[in-house]
A and B are shown apart, each in its own frame.
Chain A
Amino acid sequence: MKRAKEVTRVQELVYELKVEQAMTGDVVAVTPQTLMVEFREILRVNRISGTPVLENGELVGIVSIEDLIKALASSELEATVGEKMTTEVKTLYADEPLIQAVGKFARYGFGRFPAVDRQGKLVGILTQGDIVKGLLKRLEIDYHEEEIHRYRASHIFEDIVADEAALLFRYNVIGQDFTRAGEASSKLKRTLSRLGINPRIIRQVAIISYEAEMNIVIFTDGGELVAEVRPERIKIEAIDGGPGIPDIEKAMHPGFSTAPEWVREMGFGAGMGLLNIQACSDEMKLESTVGVETHLEAIVYVEGGKGDAERDSQ
């Protein structure tokens, strides 16, 4: 049951892509009257291993290199394709997902399937090689798109004309939701890497935002995580609506935690979170009013901050 959820990108694509996106549309076909000796030439010239057989535009069979070898073995090269072809043709619909094709290749062991439209007209042919090529092409497009995102984003500050520019990213954090905990930080990290920010800086910001997000999840009914990105520094703010921290000095003490037992069993509440934030920030400010709110502000300088000095080794 659990296995069903383990889906990779390629598996996903097999469901997304249609047969028509991977098939060869320009189909080389023969007629039942074509001689096997002519068929051999057609295979050789086109460098293919089989063709559909059409009569007056209707798909009547399929003939492959295997049929040719059999004809060669019994010296029947002068026979017609019509005598040697397979007449029970299994086809694919051009608009069905590739996964159907994968299933049919596995089930029948054929080398190729003609693809037809819903009226039964031949529109293409699909081999297993076409499936692999189609998937690779699509993966390459995905990759390029990601590259373009990255390129555009990393030049954004150069393109903006202003005396002062900042980008603001705001993420909602739901309190007590341990399933989605960490998502805001993951999204922020992805955004920052698309902006082309130095990986060491991103790592610092990721640790800060993760710990701040987890504090909101563990201790409050919810809040928000805000990142303000300027060319020279990144400011992370975590704001929630209470319960607030009665003694901030105590909260900053290594190992001190007020997390309930069940939360600790999941590995949270080690009493390290605020310290981790402090260690990764160039400036940190924590203010809290019990029963009202907690406001954390952490700043990481892009140049000349901790990221350039002691964190060089990472």
Chain B
Amino acid sequence: MLKEIANELTLTVRTAPDKLDVEVTGGYASDLLSRVMAKAKKGNLWVTIQAHPNIVAVASLLELAGIIVAEDVELDPVTIEKANEEGIPILTTEYCTFAIVSKLAQLGVAGVD
């Protein structure tokens, strides 16, 4: 469950707090959106340092469980607005992508390959 992951890793829930009761089917990490489009699967948790509104479109089209924005990159206000509209949870963390992915792996979130 995304909620448990958020609690365990003390991620800050920035959008769609009512959408955290979802099963996470795996994880994918990349900052190149077309790579994400090609590889990430439904229900995956996506780790990135992109914070512009288009990440919401990507997550919504792929029906991802949520987005973790690493290194506390500041979210664009439009990103927040859109994510709430689309019901996509965005969680932020101070850790870098590598660090948060290794923590996710310890919790049993597996890569999609």
Contacts and interface: CB of A to CB of B under 8 A. Distances in A.
Nearest to A314: B41
A181 B57 contact: yes
A219 to B, nearest CB: 14
Contacts of A8: 16-18, 84
B83 to A, nearest CB: 9
A237 interface: no
Contact of A266 (B54, B80, B84): B54
Contacts of A2: 75, 77, 80
Interface of A: 2, 5-10, 178-179, 181-183, 185-186, 189, 203, 206-207, 210-211, 214, 266-268, 270-273, 275-276, 279, 314
With a 10 A CB-CB cut-off, give which of B34, B50, B62, B81 has the most chain A CB atoms: B34
Given A181-B54, A206-B62, A6 B80 contact: yes
B15 interface: yes
A211 B57 contact: no
B84 A210 contact: no
Contacts of B60: 182, 186, 189
* Chain B CB within 10 Å, residue with most, of A9, A214, A267: A267
Given A210-B58, A266-B50, 19 more contacts: A2-B80, A5-B80, A6-B15, A7-B84, A178-B52, A178-B53, A182-B53, A182-B61, A183-B57, A186-B57, A186-B60, A186-B86, A203-B63, A210-B57, A210-B61, A214-B34, A266-B54, A270-B32, A270-B33
Contacts of B78: 179
Interface in B17-51: 17-18, 31-35, 37-38, 41-42, 48, 50
A185 B18 contact: no
The A contact surface, by secondary structure, is: helix
Nearest to A10: B18
Contacts of B63: 203
A279 B34 CA distance: 12
Interface residues of B, number: 34
A112 B88 CA distance: 36
A189 B62 CA distance: 10
Contact of B37 (A183, A189, A271, A276): A276
B52 A272 contact: no
A168 B23 CA distance: 35
Contact of A189 (B18, B31, B61): B61
Contacts of B14: 6
B48 A267 contact: yes
Contact of B38 (A186, A214, A268, A276): A276
Given A186-B86, A267-B48, A211 B54 contact: no
Contacts of A270: 32-35
A206 B16 CA distance: 22
A8 B56 CA distance: 16
Contacts of B62: 203, 206
B34 A273 contact: yes
B46 to A, nearest CB: 11
A5 B54 contact: no
Nearest to A274: B34
Contacts of A276: 34, 37-38
B54 A272 contact: no
Given A181-B54, A182-B61, A5 B77 contact: yes
B61 A185 contact: yes
The 10 closest A-B pairs by CB, nearest first: A182-B57, A272-B34, A270-B32, A206-B61, A270-B34, A267-B33, A267-B50, A5-B81, A267-B31, A276-B38
A186 B54 contact: no
Contacts of A266: 33, 50, 52, 54
